[in-house]
A and B are shown apart, each in its own frame.
Chain A
């Protein structure tokens, strides 16, 4: 059984059909790429997968469970985490707290326990700190744990967003243009990091990216989206040599 199975997904905004008949199957452990020209509907697909938009048609199954039209928070609990194209960190909180917010559902104590500082508060917070620092150290961010998230350099903000997503312990991680705005060196580091987190956390990854070097370097399979429809799908090398795809990217 595939980890993610999307059938005939579609969404309309007013009269505009933004995504139509979108099908996708991702197996456990795969590193999958979603590419296409600007405005093809890639982020819209992500928004439907995470419940930010309710799809007009179609179904989404995660690990055999129907999550179509569920609320964003529920979908996250079911095992989907994501990052955003325009970074969305909790800017007024520290790097450490950003990750601890990601850990929110894994470590529980009630509001009253927090207000009255019962023993469980201290023990749980200690565990959370430890786990959060562990996650941060993967990205070399543990030394900046107390910095405000909005004060981090751009590249580090993208990594913190990934760390925060991983903190929710996802089965499927969606990365929306993780290399946007990075220089070639940073992109290379990022590729290594993505490979590393896949290995360490056993997480399946679906990513949107424009950087073809990154896509061909790490993605095993690709789906190409054009004008809201699937143009090509399959093994990376085959897809990238598809004349249709080349046409869509380079023009006639």
Chain B
């Protein structure tokens, strides 16, 4: 009986629209996380495995401020952003910066180590039981088509926030001095040094921005999916990396496109194929993207010089 009911709902057009909006909302979160990956990958040429776990830390911070200390949502998010920004910079300084001259393998292993460290620290502090996250968005949302299509406040705020951040960031990278330095470093680190750009400061700034955005992403993610555990960040992190590759690593609009596509794919897979296999389907997309077009939709080709 239960299943029949679900199928009827799934097959309606309104159902389709609902899933699409949910997908865009999830995709916006992926896009925000993907920004962190794509900027760091573009500039430091490393896969910051720990980025997903910074999201989790950010979400816990918001949870502690709001639910434990009763602070307003906006204040909680600001505190979380500040702390995550600091965390990102500290991680970069302690774990990644000394490895600038190391092999890719060494850097990757270190990043995995940092990711694991954050997870297990959270596990010791917060325990493995999921905590129930209170949404940072109080707005119920709007109801369209005579009540057949409900759009939650969460979805609207998430999508709008994501787009606003994207536009601001694109403006920042294009028109400000630090932004131009970021582009220069991502293009050619050695040439940037010769031009007098402080590469270390630029990389540090990139980590700061990425981690700050991770805090926002964490709050938004957990507002829609309120069960928060120390492992909350790792899967969305990997998926967001997929999104970053999908859109073209190093490209900010690419992260948006990749994130939205991936979010929609995941929600549709859950709704129309199998909720248990949704992750497997998303990972299959990842594999196909990496194999067929590793440069992504908006990426550039990089070739080894012989």
The smallest beta-carbon distance between A14 and chain B, in angstroms, is 9
Residues of A in contact (CB 8 Å), total: 5
B292 interface residue (CB < 8 Å to A)? no
B195 interface residue (CB < 8 Å to A)? no
What per-residue 1/0 map shows which CB atoms of B273-306 lie under 8 Å from chain A? Answer: 0000000000000000000000000000000001
A47 interface residue (CB < 8 Å to B)? yes
A43 interface residue (CB < 8 Å to B)? yes
A101 interface residue (CB < 8 Å to B)? no
Chain A residues with Cβ below 8 Å from B306 are 43, 47, 52-53, 84
Nearest neighbor of A47 in chain B, beta-carbon distance:
B306
On chain B, which size bracket covers the interface? under 10
Within the assembled complex, what's the spacing in Å between the Cα atoms of A84 and B306?
A: 8
Count of CB-CB pairs between chains A and B under 8 Å: 5
Within the assembled complex, what's the spacing in Å between the Cα atoms of A43 and B305?
A: 11
What per-residue 1/0 map shows which CB atoms of A32-66 lie under 8 Å from chain B? Answer: 00000000000100010000110000000000000
Nearest neighbor of B304 in chain A, beta-carbon distance:
A52
Within the assembled complex, what's the spacing in Å between the Cα atoms of A84 and B305?
A: 12
Nearest neighbor of A14 in chain B, beta-carbon distance:
B301
Which residues between 91 and 133 of chain A lie within 8 Å of chain B, taking CB atoms?
Answer: none
Within the assembled complex, what's the spacing in Å between the Cα atoms of A43 and B306?
A: 8
Chain B residues with Cβ below 8 Å from A43 are 306
Chain B residues with Cβ below 8 Å from A52 are 306
Nearest neighbor of B301 in chain A, beta-carbon distance:
A14
Chain B residues with Cβ below 8 Å from A84 are 306
Nearest neighbor of A85 in chain B, beta-carbon distance:
B306
Nearest neighbor of B303 in chain A, beta-carbon distance:
A13
The smallest beta-carbon distance between B106 and chain A, in angstroms, is 15
What per-residue 1/0 map shows which CB atoms of B97-114 lie under 8 Å from chain A? Answer: 000000000000000000
Residues of B within 8 A of A (CB): 306
Would you give 5 A-B contacts (Cβ < 8 Å), ordered by A? Answer: A43-B306, A47-B306, A52-B306, A53-B306, A84-B306
Return the 5 tightest CB-CB contacts between A and B, nearest first: A52-B306, A47-B306, A43-B306, A84-B306, A53-B306
